[in-house]
Structure 1
Amino acid sequence: MSRYWKGKWIWAPAQDESGNGSNVYYYFRKEIELKNLSPSYRLYITADTRYRLHINGQPTGSGPAMCVNHYQYYDVIDVTPSIEEGINCIALEVYRLGSIPGPSGLLAELTDADGAVLMSTDDSWRTVKADAWRSDTQFFRMSMYSPFQEHYSSTREPVGWKESGFRDDGWARPRIWSGPVSDSPPAVAPWTRLIERDIPKLIETREYARAIAYMEESIELMNRMRSEDLSIGLSMAGQPLQFTMIHRAEGLLGAEGGDTELRCSVGHLSRELDGIYNPCIVLDFGRSINAYLELDLTAAAGAVIDIGYAERLLNGRFNNAVEGMYADRYEARAGRQKFRSYHWKSFRYIKLMLRSGTEPLMLHRLQAARCRYPYEERGSFHSSDQLLNQVFRICKDTLDLCSNDSIMDTPWREQAQFVGDVSAVTLGGIYACFGDVLLPGKFLRQSAANQLPDGLLPSVTNSLANDSLHPDYSLWWVWGLWQHYRYTGEEQWIHRYYPHVLKVVDAFLGYVNHQGLIEHMPYAVFIDWAHLDRKGVSTPLNALFYGVAGAVEAMAEIKGDAYTRERLRMARSKLKNGFDAVLFCPERECYTDASFEGKQSPRISEQANTSAIYWGLCSRARAQRIFDRLWGEDSLIHTESQPFHTMITLRALMSAGMREQAVALVKDRWGKRMALKGATSTYEEWESNGSRRNGGFTPIMRTQSHAWSAYPAEFLLYGLAGFEILEPGCGKVGVKPFAGAFDYDIVIPLPQGLLRVSRKAGMSEVMAPPLVKVVSSEKGGDARGQQSIQ
């Protein structure tokens, strides 16, 4: 149901040209007198791009959830504890990212317990550009959430503007945005769908640095051509402390805190030194976190602290100039003060550098306000195999790290909600580890709202700044929708989004050739970060379509849509008949990557062959022979799956009854290549310092916090328990515990409660919630519904 708004979308006055720029901040404020206080007050609020709210000088909230403006989220905040009798001041710092053309705005309403609107955004508010933030800072185009560095000068902030009584008569009245027929939301473009926040509020916990990685001092030199880029100075190599001072550095560690004193060199004042040296401290938080950095300090006016963020060290040193140039600058006023970054960053390491500090600066406390989605710790895995325990821990922690207001590929680089990543891997991991359905539900709805006219979905659905389109990602979204229904048992998901599903299917059927195969889709087929032949008829894309079309057949059955059911039955039958004839190579006894203009590709890949196996396009006997050709004594030279597509490899092994080999693969790849190397979250590819996507080795940085690589979090629960959903909603499930060489205890959250599976001393035990019927699984290990191998 659409909410009726009395408030108006407001923004900087029309004559203020900076309001149309990028990386700009504005102050907005309004005072309201309240008598005979109501039992409760709510603030309905949203902004494009973000807001930070203060009531009577106190921080009260921030938001909204990252979104596209045609599907704009708003928050409902209980502000009762902040409201006082008498004059109240509502003050906001509103940020415009401006990475895409179009207007920005603020919309808010204050209501009492009866729902009466007491205050709303209109032209009686006051606004001014927040010059405390520099706008022309370094831009890192890969980031969706905070691509600009944050430079903040506290000396430029108007004193007392967040409190009542401040003289704002010099501030401007805001402009009001109007639609073609009305200025009342939601009839104002581009914010034509206003959606109340449909997930819980994020939680904040305080975390502290665990170790000092190293200290140094660095000569200060200005890059005159790129003064806006803090990462250059922060990444310069330093020298041992000689001319600067860092006293009681250990005070920056732990929750107790302590007074850490820093001072730059002063020898340049008397010309004893050629230049200024700045003290630097690199702190290690022990693992990657998403957090706002908070400082409590006493400083002289004009002292500057630069803060760099990184998820790892390079050659043992801090460097964020190569990639991920995330950094803040804080210019202090005189006296004691606090700083909190406006935007959260993802980091394990931070580097503090004091500039312009010829007088001592005292850091009383440094802490990180970690923000995360409020998952319940429900699913668990413990075994006598410590390497598997490590793998599960880093995979589960990665799912947690990549869950915020949206489900991200990685919080360190893009912060993007990539449809394929989430649907193929992250959703299943969230169900298995946490049993949460709200954040997956938001993802499915938000992604559907971005469907394009041709029926496909854009690759990223929490931002319009990324315009990539991978057709296989649209198929993965359909699969994710089907699995969400199977886990929750809620048919509303099928009824609501069946029209979207049909558009996706139609988009693919438009490229079916005379042999029944998808050919020449005019978009970038992704499949995996690997050197694959994708031209013409792509083997893994056709296999994926075959499997997903089977799920859509089942949806058509629910909908009573005989036409679509028969249409897809025939399409799948024709695809299956043509699949082997076009894509199987008898001489090599496996599937080639693709067929182009009637010729099979010379390339062989794990991706193509395990896709054919998992999605039910080859016999069990052929599957066994294919695995021999991939990994046996007479193995072929082939492309190995990266972490993302290894989830299909593991499912294919389970489909073929090869769970022991699947466990060994998890230990060999995630265990040896990540966990034993000290990983605290999962890498984007098997190597961190390069990619083999083009056949050779390209030395580009890979993230070390990528959710699409976290599939073992699901596998070690579902795969070892032999768990599969036999009836939507998990009222009937199959279990077939893995009889391996180690003991284990597994807890799997279901909508009805916790399913416990354990194996000790060769004996298995299963305990299920009262409303769940457990039967012995014939296939086991894939809650998504096994594909049949003939």
Structure 2
Amino acid sequence: MNRFLSLLFFLSISVQSQTELNYPEVVYGKENIKASWVSHPDVKGGEDIAVLFRNTFNIIDSKADFIINISADNHYFLYVNGEFVTHGPQLSDIKHYKYETLNVKDYLNPGKNIVAVKVINFGKRRFLGMQSIFTSVMVNGVTENAKIINTTGFNDTWVSTIDKSYKANEVVWRGDGEKAIVGGFYANNPTDIVDMNHYPTHWETLNFDDSGWKKVAFFENASSMGGSIAYLLEPRNLPLLSWDKEQIASIVRSSKPLATEFPVLGTLTLAPNTKTTFLLDQQYVTNGFPELLFSKGKSAIITIKYAENLFGPNNEKGDRNDIANKNLLGYYDEIISNGRDAQKFIPNWMRTFRFIEFEIETKDQELILEKFVNHRSRTTIPSIAQFESDDKMYNDIFDICKRTIDICTQDYFLSDAYYETMQYVGDSKIQGLIWEALSGNAEHTKNAIRQFDHSRDSDGNILGAYPLRSTFIYPTYSLVWVDMIADQYNSSGDKEFIHTYKDGIINTLAGFEKNMNDLNLVNKTPYRYFVDWYTGPNNGSGTATKNDGLNSAVVSLHYVHALQNASGLFKAIGDEHTSVKYKNRAQEIIKSVYELCYDTDRNLFAERPDKTIYDQHTNIMAILTDAIPQNEQRALLNKILNEKDLLQATYYYRFYLFEAIKKVGAPELFDVAQKPWEQMINDHMSTTLERFESIEKPTRSEVHPWSASPAYFYFNYLAGIRSVQNDFEEVQIAPAFGKLNEIAGLLPTSKGTIEFKLKRNKNNLSAEITIPKRMKGHLIWQGTERELKEGKNTYIIKNTL
């Protein structure tokens, strides 16, 4: 029990020196923006392209604040006097396009200075979450001294060039040709092909000769009364991403003996006219922007491949630590050397990897690899929660859940870090709760709820993922959006938050009501209901069978769940009429589901009235919605976990299974429900899988936050720590333990960090609990209650039950 409590507390993420000035409160609003969007005069439209921008200027007082706003389409990297500052903008949509606000005075010198910006458009295959109009940049001076670098396109001093070294490398995942990845659907950005022979080395530094560059061209005004011809700007509402140096591990396999431990120790020299392949194993999955420094090697081709795992002969994965007879199949960057010293490559978009493989073909000159490091990217809100128990399996599961959430909390909630990197509603409901437990911060969750609200169509549908340049609609995810608002209110007690979204809730539920038929069950829709990833011959790609969800009991009960949550929200703000309306409608549907789908012979709910399909999902949701009397719910829960012929809830839907266990009060069943995670640990995974393995549908993503829910329930249920008033002004700690006997940890909240050590011996509890200022609460154990005051609380509760 001393895995971490004996160690000094430290943050796992170091915050870079540059900060977003409009977080957490807006100080420099869009009304101060006078600059315009500009581009290179030869840019045609949405082609994949990299454009480099420079502005050389003089200042007298380098100690004075030099505050700027900056944004770009699609993505930018900002340098001042050759030093990297940050990249952006924060992901959003055209109507809510983000800009960063920075004070760059610490990068400036008296006299001449250079601000340089690289802007990437990833082209037609850009990330599906990335909305775009035109390759352009906007830099606006906020302080008077910074107005000298305003982009206008008419009389400014910005110059630009097209980086002819770059082209987008499409990641092939469909069609008849050779695939770049295993597992299908890829919605992330293309990778990079860079020919260093055409790269303007040191372009971001002061002494670079840009006399041959062209003056920038005006694209559009950055703002106007009542709107904009291009982007509707608003300030970034989350902190900047990290740019922390992370060492990459040494070579574990190579095609020939290598006399070095590159990249940990020493350089690696490769002889002329050779082909060399070597594999790096980071031992855990991470993400960021790997940086390669290299020299010489004229015309050498360097291919860098990235993957979460290796694959066996039949694309099986198995033990992730076992690399024998396995290959790396994944996306890659390709670099052609120009033969000079001190060449540098950093990819234009984040890479996710545990394994990296280099394939290098040299020509007539030796190639020297000098350094290879990762610049880790994720939110700089600290994730400081810690958990330890007397069961190593639980500790290991917590670790992989936490790493998954940390990696996938960026400017938004990533559904997975490798294949899609989109923010999905169903995923975000779970990730938001876990992230708040790990960080004590709800800003990412609020950002997701707001962005989903922006996605609603005229029929009330929330897009399944957002921001988005496509149209993914899963009507069940519209319901989950309502559930997310209820989650946020239940933890915060913020009634204004309900008022912000009450009209949206009404619109969304009214839209879903159109899907209901005369049986009070759901009809087919033009879209796809998504419940979970099912397996078996009747797999409906998100529903239990291929009937498009017609008369689905579980989908109908998801509607009930949202109606019940909405009823509670409207009751909280005093709208009794709407509250009762939703409550009554929920009861009507419950009555129909019970009468049409409950099997009195099996004492189970069927998935449809024809009673041909039975799954865990319908019965889990029946418990959560009280579609079955409370005194029968424990028996139903036992059946859910013991009836072997039920279609199984995968990692995603087991969040709801854990909720049902908590609702019924059956901690002894928690370990049974968690069993699938044990295989991940046995396979030495460092992050969590997307779904169960099957021959028909092998898993893709190995960094999938919707599968990280045990970490949330370790705190919320097994340790029993919950806010009962105004976002942890008052806390209740009612440990359930499950199979555990000792639990300890740190739980951050908006009011400070709770430290706890809980130990049970038969029916007795010993507890050491330290709660911060501005917090009070109660410790509850088997009907006995003790007061918790700020500071350290020590109790031994003996119970004779």
Q: Report the TM-score when normalising by structure 2.
A: 0.83
Aligned residues: 711
Separation in structure 2 between the aligned mates of residue 515 and residue 728 of structure 1, nearest angstrom: 41
Please provide the CA RMSD for this pair. Answer: 2.7
Q: What pairs up with 1:596-745 in 2 under 5 angstroms? A: 600-632=610-642, 635=643, 637-666=645-674, 668-671=675-678, 673-687=679-693, 690=694, 697-739=695-737, 740-745=739-744
Q: Does 1:553 align with 2:595?
A: no
Separation in structure 2 between the aligned mates of residue 279 and residue 636 of structure 1, nearest angstrom: 51
Q: Does 1:111 align with 2:142?
A: yes
Look up the equivalent residue of 2:583 and give its one-letter code. R
Match in the other structure for 1:236:
none
Match in the other structure for 1:250:
261
- C-alpha spacing 1:305/1:571, structure 2 compared with 1 (3 Å): same
Deviation track 1:82-135 (CA, whole Å, cap 9, x = no partner) reads 2223332222111112347742321111333x5863321121432222111024
Match in the other structure for 2:11:
none
Look up the equivalent residue of 1:329 and give its one-letter code. I
Q: Secondary structure at the match of 1:459?
A: coil
Separation in structure 2 between the aligned mates of residue 683 and residue 628 of structure 1, nearest angstrom: 26
Q: Does 1:74 align with 2:99?
A: yes
Look up the equivalent residue of 2:263 and give its one-letter code. L
Separation in structure 2 between the aligned mates of residue 351 and residue 336 of structure 1, nearest angstrom: 22
Separation in structure 2 between the aligned mates of residue 160 and residue 723 of structure 1, nearest angstrom: 53
Match in the other structure for 1:191:
231
Q: Does 1:288 align with 2:285?
A: yes
- C-alpha spacing 1:625/1:486, structure 2 compared with 1 (3 Å): closer
Q: CA deviation at 1:501?
A: 1.7
Match in the other structure for 1:788:
none
Match in the other structure for 2:793:
none
Q: Secondary structure at the match of 2:735?
A: coil
Separation in structure 2 between the aligned mates of residue 91 and residue 709 of structure 1, nearest angstrom: 41
Name whichever of 697-706 and 712-721 sits farther off: 697-706
Match in the other structure for 2:16:
none
Separation in structure 1 between the aligned mates of residue 86 and residue 205 of structure 2, nearest angstrom: 16
Separation in structure 2 between the aligned mates of residue 622 and residue 332 of structure 1, nearest angstrom: 73
Q: CA deviation at 1:331?
A: 2.7
Deviation track 1:528-567 (CA, whole Å, cap 9, x = no partner) reads 1113135222222222221222221222123332332232
Separation in structure 2 between the aligned mates of residue 779 and residue 211 of structure 1, nearest angstrom: 55
Q: What pairs up with 1:222-371 in 2 under 5 angstroms? A: 241=256, 247-253=258-264, 257-264=265-272, 266=273, 277-315=274-312, 316=323, 319=327, 321=329, 324-371=330-377
Q: Does 1:5 align with 2:33?
A: yes
Separation in structure 2 between the aligned mates of residue 298 and residue 44 of structure 1, nearest angstrom: 36
Separation in structure 1 between the aligned mates of residue 271 and residue 462 of structure 2, nearest angstrom: 53
Could you tell me whether the CA contact under 8 Å between 1:720 and 1:738 is conserved in 2? yes
- C-alpha spacing 1:581/1:105, structure 2 compared with 1 (3 Å): same
Q: Secondary structure at the match of 1:117?
A: helix
Q: CA deviation at 1:39?
A: 1.1
Deviation track 1:405-464 (CA, whole Å, cap 9, x = no partner) reads 1111111111111111011x1111112222122222222222222222222211111332
Q: CA deviation at 1:643?
A: 0.2
Q: What pairs up with 1:447-486 in 2 under 5 angstroms? A: 447-464=452-469, 466-486=470-490
Name whichever of 397-406 and 351-360 sits farther off: 351-360
Q: Report the TM-score when normalising by structure 1.
A: 0.84
Could you tell me whether the CA contact under 8 Å between 2:304 and 2:357 is conserved in 1? yes
Could you tell me whether the CA contact under 8 Å between 1:52 and 1:63 is conserved in 2? yes
Could you tell me whether the CA contact under 8 Å between 2:270 and 2:368 is conserved in 1? yes
Q: CA deviation at 1:577?
A: 1.9
Look up the equivalent residue of 1:559 and give its one-letter code. I
- C-alpha spacing 1:319/1:453, structure 2 compared with 1 (3 Å): farther
- C-alpha spacing 1:365/1:106, structure 2 compared with 1 (3 Å): same
- C-alpha spacing 1:37/1:378, structure 2 compared with 1 (3 Å): closer
Separation in structure 1 between the aligned mates of residue 102 and residue 606 of structure 2, nearest angstrom: 55
Separation in structure 2 between the aligned mates of residue 286 and residue 446 of structure 1, nearest angstrom: 35
Separation in structure 2 between the aligned mates of residue 34 and residue 144 of structure 1, nearest angstrom: 47
- C-alpha spacing 1:636/1:259, structure 2 compared with 1 (3 Å): closer
Q: Does 1:582 align with 2:613?
A: no
Q: CA deviation at 1:378?
A: 3.2
Q: Secondary structure at the match of 2:243?
A: strand
- C-alpha spacing 1:56/1:743, structure 2 compared with 1 (3 Å): closer
Q: What pairs up with 1:347-496 in 2 under 5 angstroms? A: 347-423=353-429, 425-464=430-469, 466-496=470-500
Q: Secondary structure at the match of 1:594?
A: coil
Match in the other structure for 1:235:
none
- C-alpha spacing 1:177/1:594, structure 2 compared with 1 (3 Å): farther
Q: CA deviation at 1:286?
A: 1.0
- C-alpha spacing 1:214/1:356, structure 2 compared with 1 (3 Å): same
Separation in structure 2 between the aligned mates of residue 486 and residue 157 of structure 1, nearest angstrom: 54
Could you tell me whether the CA contact under 8 Å between 2:71 and 2:139 is conserved in 1? yes
- C-alpha spacing 1:172/1:145, structure 2 compared with 1 (3 Å): farther
Look up the equivalent residue of 1:198 and give its one-letter code. N
Look up the equivalent residue of 1:73 and give its one-letter code. K
Separation in structure 1 between the aligned mates of residue 588 and residue 216 of structure 2, nearest angstrom: 61
Q: Which runs of 5+ in 2 are unaligned?
A: 1-28, 125-130, 175-183, 313-322, 785-801
Q: CA deviation at 1:160?
A: 5.0
Separation in structure 2 between the aligned mates of residue 619 and residue 777 of structure 1, nearest angstrom: 26
- C-alpha spacing 1:435/1:115, structure 2 compared with 1 (3 Å): farther
Q: CA deviation at 1:74?
A: 0.9
- C-alpha spacing 1:336/1:713, structure 2 compared with 1 (3 Å): same
- C-alpha spacing 1:617/1:777, structure 2 compared with 1 (3 Å): farther
- C-alpha spacing 1:571/1:290, structure 2 compared with 1 (3 Å): same
Deviation track 1:747-789 (CA, whole Å, cap 9, x = no partner) reads 3323222334433252232624452222538999xxxxxxxxx
Match in the other structure for 1:150:
192
Separation in structure 2 between the aligned mates of residue 41 and residue 718 of structure 1, nearest angstrom: 45
Match in the other structure for 2:241:
202
Look up the equivalent residue of 1:410 and give its one-letter code. D
Deviation track 1:374-404 (CA, whole Å, cap 9, x = no partner) reads 2434322111111111111111111111111
Q: Does 1:527 align with 2:496?
A: no
Could you tell me whether the CA contact under 8 Å between 2:296 and 2:337 is conserved in 1? no
Q: Secondary structure at the match of 2:373?
A: strand
Give the share of equivalent positions with the same residue, in percent.
20
- C-alpha spacing 1:556/1:540, structure 2 compared with 1 (3 Å): same
Separation in structure 2 between the aligned mates of residue 483 and residue 616 of structure 1, nearest angstrom: 18
- C-alpha spacing 1:526/1:517, structure 2 compared with 1 (3 Å): same
Match in the other structure for 2:44:
19
Q: Does 1:171 align with 2:196?
A: no
- C-alpha spacing 1:387/1:167, structure 2 compared with 1 (3 Å): closer
Q: Which of 98, 111, 114 does residue 86 from structure 1 map onto?
A: 111
Q: CA deviation at 1:210?
A: 2.8
Look up the equivalent residue of 1:563 and give its one-letter code. H
Could you tell me whether the CA contact under 8 Å between 1:397 and 1:681 is conserved in 2? yes
Q: Which of 30, 54, 61 does residue 29 from structure 1 map onto?
A: 54
- C-alpha spacing 1:174/1:737, structure 2 compared with 1 (3 Å): same
Look up the equivalent residue of 2:147 and give its one-letter code. V
Separation in structure 1 between the aligned mates of residue 662 and residue 326 of structure 2, nearest angstrom: 42
Separation in structure 2 between the aligned mates of residue 308 and residue 108 of structure 1, nearest angstrom: 35
Match in the other structure for 1:538:
552
Q: CA deviation at 1:144?
A: 7.7
Q: Secondary structure at the match of 1:118?
A: helix
Look up the equivalent residue of 1:562 and give its one-letter code. E
Q: CA deviation at 1:318?
A: 6.3
Q: Which runs of 5+ in 1 are unaligned?
A: 217-240, 267-276, 691-696, 781-790
Look up the equivalent residue of 1:722 and give its one-letter code. G
Could you tell me whether the CA contact under 8 Å between 1:721 and 1:735 is conserved in 2? yes
Match in the other structure for 1:231:
none
Separation in structure 1 between the aligned mates of residue 549 and residue 707 of structure 2, nearest angstrom: 26
